[in-house]
């Protein structure tokens, strides 16, 4: 049961890593992101597709760029992660 949660958290971590890299190097393409993050291109492509579908990045002719939604996410990220940690900590106490 918890294996799926671990996989989801790992995937979310990669998506966050990708969006941070896009924000820091925009516009940026798949090959450059793959080299920068040392992640295979097919995984970068998947993360970009998910992030674009969720409205966090947009594609341009020069490469991926973050949207205002991504900038809002960055503002709340630490608080959101802290809340996840609190929930998981309560699970541990049960």
The domain limits of the chain are 2-93
Q: Encode pLDDT of 42-93 as tens digits.
A: 999 999 999 999 999 999 999 999 999 999 999 999 999 999 999 989 988 7
pLDDT at 25 over 70: yes
What is the Cα–Cα distance from 94 to 91, expressed in whole angstroms?
5
Q: Is 38 helix (H, G, I), strand (E, B) or coil?
A: coil
pTM of the model: 0.88
Show the tokens assigned to 93. 């106490």
Can you name the residues that pair with 91 across neighbouring β-strands?
Answer: none
Q: How far, in Å, CA of 60 to CA of 13, rounded? A: 24
pLDDT at 1: 76
- Determine the pLDDT at residue 94: 63
User: What number does CATH give the domain 2-93?
Assistant: 1.10.10.10
For the residues 29-52, what does the mean pLDDT come to? 96
């Amino acid at each position: 049961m918890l294996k799926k949660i671990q996989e989801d958290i790992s995937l979310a971590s990669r998506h966050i890593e990708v969006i941070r890299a896009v924000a820091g190097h925009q516009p940026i393409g798949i090959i450059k992101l793959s080299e920068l993050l040392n992640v295979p291109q097919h995984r970068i492509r998947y993360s970009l597709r998910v992030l674009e579908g969720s409205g966090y990045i947009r594609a341009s002719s020069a490469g991926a760029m973050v949207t205002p939604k991504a900038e809002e996410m960055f503002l709340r990220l630490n608080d959101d992660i802290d809340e996840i940690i609190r929930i998981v900590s309560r699970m541990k106490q049960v």
